[in-house]
Amino acid sequence: MDNFPLHRAVFSNEVEIVKKHMAEMNKKDTQGNTPLHIACMLGNKDIVQLLLEKGAKVRSRNNAGWNALDEAIAYGDIGLDKIVISAFRMGQPSG
């Protein structure tokens, strides 16, 4: 994860570092995961909300074909699902 400081910050739940690296919010790692994918995988609602507020691409798919909603549903938290579903309904373009 050395080339992906935002991904690492999301994984470590370091909100202040996440805020400093927002320019990379749609960058994909080697598995095609964006920071939003990772935040959803980990069930981190605060970071999911922050990324979505700053314009993270909610429909972006990773190498397995999953988007943020798929990851949120797999995590199994209804509150997280609602946050991501709301972003989908707002009509964010795919990416």
**Is 10:38 a contact under the CB 8 Å cutoff?**
yes
Residue 90: the pLDDT is 84
Structure tokens at 45: 């609602």
Condensed to tens digits (0 to 9), the pLDDT of residues 35-47 reads: 999 999 999 999 9
Gyration radius from the chain CA atoms: 12
Residue 4 CB neighbour total at 10 angstroms:
20
- pTM of the full structure: 0.90
pLDDT class of 19 with cuts at 50, 70, 90: very high
Domains and CATH numbers, the chain: 5-89 (1.25.40.20)
Distances in Å between the alpha carbon of 54 and those of 1, 19, 31, 50, 78? 22, 10, 23, 6, 22
Q: Say how far apart CA 1 and CA 92 lie, in whole Å.
A: 27
Condensed to tens digits (0 to 9), the pLDDT of residues 61-79 reads: 999 999 999 999 999 999 9
Average pLDDT, the chain: 91
